[in-house]
Chain A
Amino acid sequence: MKCPRCVQKIHRAASACPHCGFMLADADGLFSGRELRLRCLADTAGLLRHEERDRVEAAMGQFRQRFPQLFVAIYTGALGEAAHLRRFGFWLLNRANFVDVPPDCSNAAGILLTIDPEIKGAAMSIGYLLEPFLEEADTFDCLARAHSYFLEGRYADGMIKAFEQLAWLLRKRSHQAKRHPRRFTRNLPPAAQEEVAR
């Protein structure tokens, strides 16, 4: 668990970063305080053509079929700084209202891929549901899989590859969570650990 601003480790239940004091309200000030309504695939930078959009949406639909609890979202746009990518991911996942996600599925089950074509950066943010099961290195693996495609400007292919890698990782984690659930409760509060143990 790291602060989206200073990338320092923070303890659980910290209402603000103990290192830099960052919190969601700061991000609201930076981007917008309003709730944002958008689709899961929000290509505001215009990186995808019509046919590519279809392919990416099909891959996102497949992902949803495999993992009905989860959803993936993509946002492309110019944010200005790489540091903003992190904060923006954190902010968007908390403030966005994804219109094409079933109402029973909260943003905590979301995985957001943010791409800034101007600064040539990409980030992956995850909600609370997956936090015990995915580590930062896992999200890096997904982005690394897409890296060569992003370099060539083949964003649609890169997105699909990143989701394929993510799906592979999540399948593995799902099996592991079934077999060894206690392994994923180390960073959880004691009450949650006791619940899993029961």
Chain B
Amino acid sequence: MKSVSWLMLAACLASPLLSARDSSPLPTLSESQRKAMATSEWLAGSQVLAGGADAEAPPDLGEAPPTADLAMTQSPAAPVPEKYLAAYFDARPETFLIDPQGLLDEQSAHDLLGLLQVHAGDSPIDLFIYVFAKDQEIPGEVRGEELSERCFATARPAILVYYFLGAPQLAVLYASPSLPETILAAEQHQALQSAISKASQSSSPTDQLKAFTVQLTKRIYRMEQMLHGITDDAEGSKLAQIRAAKLAKKSSSFAARLARWRPLAQDLAIPGLLLASMFAAILGLIGWRRRRAVYRFPRLAVEPRLGGEYAAGVGAVISFASANLPPASQRRQVADYLRRT
């Protein structure tokens, strides 16, 4: 028993010595750290929180330059030739695809224009795509906001996109003032990002533009859905006006169709009316005659029978004693004295 207690005492005394030999030495502060700690500029353990020894460099808290800037810095940008500026920015474009420089081949331009026209037919928000070369720079005096306000304030709501062929990430989107910006702000950014990401999946510049456009039209449709719910309450909103205009267009087309038939209808109206009134009169006359009709029977010479001067014909006799039997079962066809009781 004594030996056991001695062994336990020895183990207790030896354990701190063993643990001290395994653990690392305590950290020591350098002179600079002491000074920094005194001025509260240094936080103990910040290296661990910042990600280790590599995080010693102070984090760059400044805003990252926009992708466009980065791209511009990658290759020196040439301004859009002056001769095309008027075609691009002077007035509201007449087509949805603005490519005065002819950067797209004919087939691609045709396809894209068809797509944009279909979109315009389906959606109350038009989509205008301005095509520039990848390395082109829009002159400083041209501002997208100004362009949208100048050219797109009064007509149908529209979304304008400056698209740089081969560099979808440089695309910039502007909304016309007729679209409520407060509602569009978030969706606008997401739509552009989504279109860029879709375009990035293609390799050829024209395919990228096509993918970009398709995706953007989808997002515009979503925007329209969003706006529709909101603008229904807002009296006199642009979209409501557009819908009304569409309806008016439809009704005007109906009116046009009607106008085509009007001469024929006018020609046939009077004879038709006469015919209908004649038909109604004939029906009325038939009804009136039927109501007033008098029916007669020929007087046939019937020989008297059984001594009766006026009648000998015996009609049916019926009993209405039972509600459970049909009339046919209660018809009395046999004389009472021949019937069994």
Q: Given that A83-B337, A90-B312 are contacting pairs, would A191 and B301 also be in contact in the complex, using a CB cutoff of 8 Å? A: yes
For B316, what are the chain A residues with a Cβ–Cβ distance below 8 Å?
123-124, 136-137, 139-140, 143
CB of A140 within 8 A of CB of B312, answer: no
CB of A121 within 8 A of CB of B317, answer: yes
Partner of A121, one of B293, B328, B332: B332
Q: Given that A90-B311, A196-B298 are contacting pairs, would A122 and B306 also be in contact in the complex, using a CB cutoff of 8 Å? A: no
For A121, what are the chain B residues with a Cβ–Cβ distance below 8 Å?
317-321, 332
For B288, what are the chain A residues with a Cβ–Cβ distance below 8 Å?
none
CB of A82 within 8 A of CB of B297, answer: no
For B328, what are the chain A residues with a Cβ–Cβ distance below 8 Å?
144
Q: Chain B: interface secondary structure? A: loop
Q: Chain A: interface secondary structure? A: mixed
A52 contacts the other chain (Cβ, under 8 Å)? no
CB of B311 within 8 A of CB of A107, answer: yes
Contact-size category for B: 35 or more
A181 contacts the other chain (Cβ, under 8 Å)? yes
A192 contacts the other chain (Cβ, under 8 Å)? yes
Q: Which residue of B lies closest to A15 (CB)?
A: B307
CB of B320 within 8 A of CB of A151, answer: yes
Give A38-62 as 1s and 0s: 1 = Cβ < 8 Å from B's Cβ atoms.
0000000000000000000000000
Partner of A10, one of B293, B306, B330: B306
Total contacting residues, chain A, CB less than 8 A:
77
B313 contacts the other chain (Cβ, under 8 Å)? yes
Partner of A16, one of B297, B303, B306: B306
CB of A126 within 8 A of CB of B313, answer: yes
CB of A132 within 8 A of CB of B302, answer: yes
Within 8 A of A (CB), among B284-341: 293-321, 323, 327-328, 330-338
For B337, what are the chain A residues with a Cβ–Cβ distance below 8 Å?
6, 83
CB of B305 within 8 A of CB of A13, answer: yes
A161 contacts the other chain (Cβ, under 8 Å)? no
CB of A131 within 8 A of CB of B313, answer: yes
Q: Given that A15-B305, A66-B293 are contacting pairs, would A196 and B300 also be in contact in the complex, using a CB cutoff of 8 Å? A: yes
For B320, what are the chain A residues with a Cβ–Cβ distance below 8 Å?
120-122, 147, 150-151
Q: Given that A12-B305, A14-B305 are contacting pairs, would A66 and B295 also be in contact in the complex, using a CB cutoff of 8 Å? A: yes
CB of B294 within 8 A of CB of A67, answer: yes
User: Known pairs A2-B314, A121-B332, A188-B300. 6 more at Cβ < 8 A?
Assistant: A24-B306, A90-B312, A121-B321, A174-B297, A191-B301, A192-B301
Q: B residues engaging A (CB < 8 A)?
A: 293-321, 323, 327-328, 330-338
Question: Would you give 30 A-B contacts (Cβ < 8 Å), ordered by A?
Answer: A1-B305, A1-B312, A2-B314, A4-B312, A5-B335, A6-B337, A6-B338, A7-B334, A10-B306, A13-B305, A24-B308, A69-B296, A90-B314, A94-B310, A120-B319, A120-B321, A121-B321, A123-B316, A123-B318, A128-B310, A134-B313, A136-B316, A140-B315, A147-B318, A170-B297, A177-B298, A188-B302, A189-B303, A191-B301, A192-B300
